[in-house]
Amino acid sequence: MRTAEIRTRFLDFFATRGHTVVPSAPLPTPDPTLLFVNAGMVPFKPYLTGESAAPWPRAASVQKCVRTLDIEEVGKTTRHGSFFQMNGNFSLGDYFKEEAIAFAWELSTAAPADGGYGLDPERIWVTVHHADEESRALWRRISGLPDARIVARGDEDNFWSMGVPGPCGPCSELYYDRGPAFGREGGPAVDEDRFMEFWNLVFMQFERGEGPGKSGYPILGELPRRNIDTGMGLERMATLLQGVDNLYETDETRPVLDRAAALAAVRYGADPAADVRLRVVADHVRTALMLLADGTAPGNEGRGYVLRRILRRAVRSMRQLGYQDPALPELLPVSRDRMAPSYPEVAEQFARISDQAYAEEEAFRATLRQGTAVLDTAVAKVKAEGGRSLPGAQAFLLHDTYGFPVDLTLEMAAEQGVEVDREGFTALMAEQRERARADARARKSGGSADTSALRAVLDAHGPTDWVAWEALATESRVLAVLGAEGPLPVAAAGRIATVVLDRSPFYAESGGQESDAGRLSSASAEAEVLDVQRPLPGLVAHQVRVTGGELAPGDTVHAAVDPEWRLGARQAHSGTHVLHAALREVLGPTALQAGSYNRPGYLRLDFPWRGGLSAGVRGAVEEAANRALRRDLPVDVRWMTLPEAKELGALALFDETYGERVRVVEIGGAWSRELCGGTHVGHASQIGTVALASEGSVGAGMRRIEAAVGVEGFGYLARERDLVSRIAEQLGAPRAELPERIAGLLDRLKAADRENARLRQRAVLERAAALAGQAVRAAGTRVVTAVAEDGEEPRALAQAVRDRLPAAHPGVAAVGAPSGTVVVALNEAGRASGLDAGALVKELLHGRGGGSPVLAQGGGLPAGELRAALDRLPGLVAGG
């Protein structure tokens, strides 16, 4: 049974039993504790914990998940995959243990012709919590399982909680006996490879208190509403139903593995080390495909770094298998074809997905060439000195200068039998981050409140009445004044603090739009609003600077947004939508926004694209945007369900999470239709103008456009006009002739540069000939030493001198520069005589430097020691 059919059967089974089928949430999650959805229950967490009212009593989903904490184990075991799909059925205050157990047993054992999976009941084992006699009795009655196959286990295995105070409860797991070929008799407590877990039923019925670990915390009592949360591993069920050894060999991953093996000319199953690498490739290519499909782009932080690491591990595994050509163009389409039956978007968006993936591989191949050489040299030095640990500073250099992730450095060093000083590396990274934080604090200082204090305000007063879409000013009550140290009784003039209001007209930073500016004023205080955020769902927090009087909880204040600021923000946000639509109009539908930022007068927009945009294309994009403004396209806002918005073709930002009802912003109807929570103008002409200021790269396969908008846009164009006027005046040429006049000047400058280079080369050759004629002899070898003069390049001079020494006799030339660099070059006879340029450089520079036996260089020599170091060369050549 194919994986796509297993998925469909699960959803169909529960749909016919009153469950609402909920689509998978995107892998990126707004949960601040997670980068990606890592369990099927994550999207349901607000309903299971009671934070939000559930929109349905019963639900079922197949949720995409990514876990990377044990990424190094991928390929080594049969159970670890970085991407997986979790089938789940949820009861939100509806049915409980009896129905959950009955559903699981029926679907698992019913014949395929009846919509089930057809597992042999005689090979199913279950586990229950040792204190949960109710579940044991239900299993006996519903399934007829004997007591021997209903195994009691402790808190570590069969009691669930989120690790913090809140819902908890016992769980019951289903296992399938795969037979003696997979391990020992005795059930799941003995061997979980032979007895594979495929479904976990969580009975959420208690509330737990504070306490560490998985046990030992107090149970505070029964929940007012009991819930069911189950998870069936789709890949594990596919492993069982397809009769394969592990999840890498199922129908969604095995074709990638087979293609990788064919490319590398290896046979899966012949070599354990090669098998691990093939499984890594099969897993990581699929994970990368799904992350890219959900809008994650490779980067150096957070989610982007996880994706970059996964892509690079796949590429490097192929290189370790002996395949040196670009691998992703061969492998990613295979994964697309296997995943598209369940996730059509991977095919629909493949042009964008593949552009980003292939650009990342291309960049990594260049990184590997540079970084590997540096790492190999550093490892060789560590070994030569008898050490076994690569200094943290070297790992930091590889990370900071060559773009080598520390995980890759750790792996590659370990392959050569060397450890990495991880603590030293971490300390250097911490120093770098602290410098960045200090810089950020200098730009925006003080007043940030602790999340726990904000949570207490939310719990006490409920969510903020947020009216930014409807109003620019409100009469509001101050619910709390908070500092970094906690609640404040009062904030006096000069103090920066966080203020929570019962009602707020201020837009909180989100969706790429900067927060509003404005003021709070009362009979006794004045405060400037510096920043507005949503630190917790439903809560709006205002960072303010008190400019007069004292602000205290309970005060009534007039909260007013700066209308000019809001107008500029609306122009910039609507301008971002217009520019996005113009890009797609000119470049095609794959030019999808991958990130944005806008504030009054300015916007930037990131989008996946390989290669820069020509001046003609940039002009076409700018013209398409301003044509929309000239046509005064209407801007409409509509609310609808998420399925309705998708049916309408509204574009969604991948990193955002949307509720059942969403806000759709249209500019000119279908021309620009996006899900958006920002503030917008009423008609496109109110944007004023969109003036493209720059376009460039912000990473492999990712471009960024910056533009000035509104009054600032007109100002930018005026400055450009004035600049052109000054250049025309200085050149004494009409504006229309400037391109030709400037091109002529550049041609003359290039010709002058070529002539200067020719003259410098001739001077070097003339000096090289003179230096070669001054060679001294040391044990039959001609030796030349010199210090490069201004404008001379030591490497070029050393090679030129060497080439002018008699070819029949050993010769060596050493040239130093005032910067402390020394280059040593040998002719063929010199190398044949046993001399080594790399060894000579190290002798001259006290161990610093290296290179090939015929050409090497090093540096770091104090200027005052240069001549003395060069004078030692004849003695070194002679063996003294």
Annotated binding site for Zn(2+): 573, 577, 676, 680
Radius of gyration, alpha carbons of the chain: 34
The DSSP code sequence of 448-461 is PPPHHHHHHHHHHH
**Please, are residues 802 and 764 in contact by the beta-carbon 8 Å criterion?**
no
CA atoms within 13 A on the CB side of 683: 6
Q: Which long-range contacts (CB under 8 A, 24 or more apart) does 673-677 make?
A: 673/648, 673/649, 674/577, 674/580, 674/650, 675/645, 675/650, 675/651, 676/511, 676/573, 676/577, 677/510, 677/511
Please state, in angstroms and as integers, the Cα–Cα distance from residue 661 to each residue in 26, 46, 51, 672, 675, following that order: 16, 16, 18, 19, 10
519 strand-pairing partners: 528, 560
Q: Cα dist. 638→148, 582, 635, 645, 662 in Å?
A: 59, 22, 10, 10, 8
Q: How far is CA 569 from the centre of its chain?
A: 28
Q: Which residues contact 309 (CB under 8 A, 6 or more apart)?
A: 68, 71, 405, 407, 408
- Beta bridge partners, 491, equal 551
Q: Using the Cα atoms of residue 549, residue 553, residue 558 and residue 562 in order, give the sign of their dihedral.
A: positive
Phi, psi of 172 (to 5 degrees): -135, 130
CA atoms within 13 A on the CB side of 366: 8
Q: Which residue has the tokens 């996946």?
A: 608
From residue 752, alpha-carbon distances to 743, 748, 763 in Å are 14, 6, 16
- Half-sphere exposure (Cβ direction) of 19: Cα atoms closer than 13 Å: 26
**506: DSSP letter:** S
What is the DSSP pairing of strand 124-129 with strand 150-153? Answer: parallel
Go through the chain and tell me how many residues it has.
880
On whether the CB atoms of residues 307 and 249 are closer than 8 A, the answer is no
Between strands 473-483 and 672-675, the pairing is unpaired
Task: Tell me how far apart the alpha carbons of residues 401 and 378 are, in angstroms, rounded to a whole number.
Answer: 15
Q: Where are the beta strands (DSSP E) in 592-744?
A: 595-599, 602-608, 635-641, 661-667, 672-675, 690-697, 702-709
Q: Which residue type, as a one-letter code, is found at position 646? A: K
- Interatomic CA distance for residues 354 and 610, integer angstroms: 10
Q: Cα(446)–Cα(292) distance, rounded to whole angstroms? A: 37
Report d(CA 565, CA 601) in Å as an integer: 9
3-state secondary structure (DSSP) of residue 616: helix
Query: CA 599 to CA 721: how far, in whole Å?
Result: 24
